[in-house]
Amino acid sequence: MSLIVVGSMAFDSIETPFGKSDRIVGGAATYIAWSASNFVKPVKQISVVGGDFPDSELQLLADRGVELEGVQIKKDQKSFFWAGRYDMDMNSRETLETQFNVLGDFQPVVPESYAGSEFLMLGNLAPGVQHSVIKQLKKRPKLIVMDTMNFWMEIAMPELEEVLKDVDVLLVNDSEARQLSAQYSLVKAARKIMEMGPKYLVIKKGEHGALLFHGDQVFYAPALPLEDVFDPTGAGDTFAGGFIGHIARTRDISFENMKTAIIVGSAMASFCVEKFGTTRLREISKEEIEGRIRQFVELVNFDIELV
């Protein structure tokens, strides 16, 4: 079992109705690694950081079983920086600032030691960069999962369309699915997106759960009703880490197993939002994760007799 994770490693500045963070460590690949490493080791990370990125953060990831040979450190440059603000409903957020810094001219290099990996998770990054990683792999992974965001649909649609042809599973939220397909109905949007390449599509709906589409089949998983949501940043990436982590651990890429992977992803995301940044992900134990997955099973389990 081997998993490559690609994506941003960053500093984030976050405002929610409950508080404001200073520059804290974030980035799509950071969240994915913290989440996926609960299920699969090593996680083979590909990213880029500046000289300002703390060594201690890299060490913590390494201690967890995240291989960092594919993480470039540009000593004289600054790490990617993103600032965002959430409304009271926490489902909509506004990007206040994006400083690409090291990500601006990032050219990922897949280390020799990552060759032959069975699973590839393309976290949020420029689609051209995501595609370059696929092209560098001599053997196609068993499953390629990709995340993206509205930002790339606005500035890099042709590149996004190209990489979509080469991936198996796409993860997007509902508004991104609508934007990508130009369809309001999520069923029509899913059909259109699956014609663009991915055979599987996961549409995340924040506190309203997630949908999995494949051909004419649909599966729905709720989100756990939580008393407190402090910071939704990284929830999508943490979901992705749980999803691919479960699949890489079980090495089963069937639709049935993807249903379980959605539950695992949702459980992981429910931890992420409980504290700012990656704080909660650093604390959770195997027992807590299992307990939460059990809560999901309880949430949707009922008996019905059809007459």
**Closest separation in Å from C-beta 168 to ligand AMP:** 20
**Closest separation in Å from C-beta 173 to ligand AMP:** 8
Q: Name the amino acid, one letter, at 307.
A: V
Q: Does 67 bind ligand AMP (CB under 6 A)?
A: no
Q: Does 26 bind ligand AMP (CB under 6 A)?
A: yes
With contacts defined by CB under 6 A, name the span among 6-14, 61-69, 114-122, 135-143 that binds ligand AMP.
6-14
Which lies closer to ligand AMP via its Cβ, residue 117 or residue 130? 130
Q: Which of 210, 208, 30, 40 lies closest to 200 in space, CA to CA?
A: 210
* Residues in 87-106 at the binding interface with ligand AMP, rule: CB under 6 A: 98
Q: Does 151 bind ligand AMP (CB under 6 A)?
A: yes
Q: Does 125 bind ligand AMP (CB under 6 A)?
A: yes
Phi and psi at residue 123, to the nearest 5°: -75, 175
With contacts defined by CB under 6 A, name the span among 70-78, 138-146, 209-217, 227-235 that binds ligand AMP.
227-235
Which lies closer to ligand AMP via its Cβ, residue 12 or residue 67? 12
Which lies closer to ligand AMP via its Cβ, residue 28 or residue 49? 28
Instruction: Give me the residues paired with residue 83 across strands.
Output: 13, 97
Which lies closer to ligand AMP via its Cβ, residue 134 or residue 268? 268
Q: Does 234 bind ligand AMP (CB under 6 A)?
A: yes
Would you give the DSSP letter of residue 73?
Answer: E
With contacts defined by CB under 6 A, name the span among 112-120, 191-199, 212-220, 230-238 that binds ligand AMP.
230-238
**Closest separation in Å from C-beta 81 to ligand AMP:** 8
Q: Which of 3, 8, 1 lies closest to 237 in space, CA to CA?
A: 8
Q: Does 50 bind ligand AMP (CB under 6 A)?
A: no
Which lies closer to ligand AMP via its Cβ, residue 180 or residue 253? 180
Would you give the DSSP letter of residue 176?
Answer: H
Helix (H) or strand (E) holding 16: strand 10-16
Q: Rounded CA gap, 280 and 253, in Å?
A: 29
Q: Does 12 bind ligand AMP (CB under 6 A)?
A: yes
Torsion of CA 73, 156, 32, 197, to 10 degrees: -130
Please, what is the Cα angle at 169 between 293 and 287, to 5 degrees? 15
Q: Does 206 bind ligand AMP (CB under 6 A)?
A: no
DSSP string, 95-138: EEEEE-GGGTT------GGGTT-SEEEE-SS-HHHHHHHHHH-S
- Residue at token pair 């590839």: 120
Contact 188, 164 (CB under 8 A): no
Residues found near ligand AMP in the complex (CB under 6 A) = 8, 10, 12, 26-28, 82, 98, 124-125, 151, 233-237
